[in-house]
Amino acid sequence: MISERLLVSDRISRLIPYQPGKPIDEVKRELGIMGEVIKLASNENPLGPSPKGIAALQAILPTLALYPDGACHALRQAVSEKLAVSPDSLIFGNGSDEVIHMLGLSLLEEGDEIVVGDPTFVLYEAAATLAGAKTVKVPLTPLEMKHDVAAMAAAITPKTRLVFVANPHNPTGSVISRADVETLLAALPPRAFLVLDEAYIEYVEDDPEFPRSTEWIKAGAPVIGLRTFSKLYGLAGFRVGYGVAAPEVICLLNQPRSPFNVNLAGQVAAAAALYDDDFIAQSRKNNDDGIAQLIAGFEKLGLSWVPTRANFIVVNTGKPAKAMFDALLKRGIIVRAFPKDLPTHLRVTIGTPEQNARFLEALEACLT
């Protein structure tokens, strides 16, 4: 009997598989939609991939028969120069998702705890569960939906090994301040780290006050930074992310890494995209303009929203989230709903001006 062979540990059976934003082709197939379907569900760059990243791919096509550089040498050099950190302070992953799993595999053990905001990016809990560690969830503040940093500091115990803060936060777009970082660091027990997940940092990079993980890492504080090429750089399909930390921490994270975890095309495109300044500026401007466009639209519809610094915004439609999600889907617009945590809200990725306008039109139609 197959079922008798499937007795697995609690760590596996308790895992809840990640629910990604619905792919465009799946929605077209399921709903029989012939026209254009737009996906504003996974915080990808609506302008597409970095042109410099794509141009760099031509040169590697003849070498695709070879394994990629497992050490990501060229990409490591490029990131190390851009962030002004030493090359051995970096670890690369198949998306920052993989680096989150490496954190769990390398640093967490049975009986350990992680502290997170609630709701937050679900992979932190998945990494903890896989390692047999417990996830302590601290609700976000009710109105602004920010991390409740004082409550998180109070939830830290001697069992805490990792405190995860996405900054800007997913799913709300809120940020924590420099003083908040200090508060969390002051509360850490000797064996713990603060993980600042900066998947969306490129959207706030112009703000000199924004707390960057690298500042604390360079000063020797127990901080680990996470970044990705999936958001502003427009390379989600290539799956490249990385972690920044003290070299001793990186050595430990490297232990469970599989030898060729970052594919060749991703390494090459990411290194080129990092210095695609025109595209970076264009993407930031599209995002800032798009936030203003959506907020103006929400105001016209009399809806409240959560202030955001990321490339998505949470709007309170006042109607059940799942029903609104389905109604928008029928009109060819894929957004994200979290009915358990945010019962009347939707999270919408900032699109192009045309996509934002189409979303606002559809939203209005679904509300009436």
Ligand X SMILES: Cc1ncc(COP(=O)(O)O)c(C=O)c1O
- Per CB under 6 A, residues contacting ligand X are 43, 95-97, 121, 166, 170, 197, 199, 228, 230, 236, 241
Nearest approach in angstroms of CB 310 to ligand X is: 8
- Based on CB atoms, which residue is closest to ligand X, 166 or 246? 166
Residue position matching structure tokens 């006050």: 209
- Based on CB atoms, which residue is closest to ligand X, 348 or 366? 348
- Based on CB atoms, which residue is closest to ligand X, 257 or 331? 257
Nearest approach in angstroms of CB 102 to ligand X is: 12
- Based on CB atoms, which residue is closest to ligand X, 120 or 286? 120
- Based on CB atoms, which residue is closest to ligand X, 312 or 359? 312
Nearest approach in angstroms of CB 312 to ligand X is: 9
Which single residue brings its beta carbon nearest to ligand X?
Answer: 95
Q: What is the rounded CA–CA span in Å between residue 156 and residue 136?
A: 9
Measuring CA to CA, which residue among 342, 301, 348 is closest to residue 321?
342
Residue at 28: amino acid letter: K
Query: Structure tokens of 356?
Result: 């934002």
- Based on CB atoms, which residue is closest to ligand X, 53 or 95? 95
Query: Structure tokens of 297?
Result: 């639209």
- Tell me the helix, strand and coil percentages in the chain, rounded to 5: 45, 15, 40
Query: What's the Cα-to-Cα distance from 265 to each of 59, 106, 269, 273, rounded to whole Å?
Result: 10, 27, 6, 12
Nearest approach in angstroms of CB 19 to ligand X is: 12
Nearest approach in angstroms of CB 360 to ligand X is: 23
- Based on CB atoms, which residue is closest to ligand X, 160 or 311? 311
Q: What is the rounded CA–CA span in Å between residue 226 and residue 168?
A: 12
Q: DSSP for 48-64, please give it.
A: -S-HHHHHGGGGGGGGT
DSSP category for residue 336: B
Nearest approach in angstroms of CB 231 to ligand X is: 7
Burial class (CB in 10 A: 0-12, 13-18, 19+), 156: buried
- Based on CB atoms, which residue is closest to ligand X, 97 or 276? 97
Give the number of other Cβ atoms within 10 Å of residue 292's Cβ: 12
Contacts (Cβ under 8 Å, ≥6 apart) of 290? 46, 350, 351, 352, 353, 356
Give the number of other Cβ atoms within 10 Å of residue 316's Cβ: 16
Q: Residues 73, 74, 77, CA angle at the centre, nearest 5°? A: 85
- Based on CB atoms, which residue is closest to ligand X, 15 or 154? 15
Query: Structure tokens of 263?
Result: 């594919």
Q: What is the rounded CA–CA span in Å between residue 99 and residue 124?
A: 11
Nearest approach in angstroms of CB 239 to ligand X is: 6
Q: What is the rounded CA–CA span in Å between residue 187 and residue 152?
A: 9
Residue position matching structure tokens 């969830």: 137
Nearest approach in angstroms of CB 345 to ligand X is: 16
Nearest approach in angstroms of CB 36 to ligand X is: 23
Nearest approach in angstroms of CB 324 to ligand X is: 21
Structural Rg of the chain based on CA atoms: 21
- Based on CB atoms, which residue is closest to ligand X, 228 or 261? 228
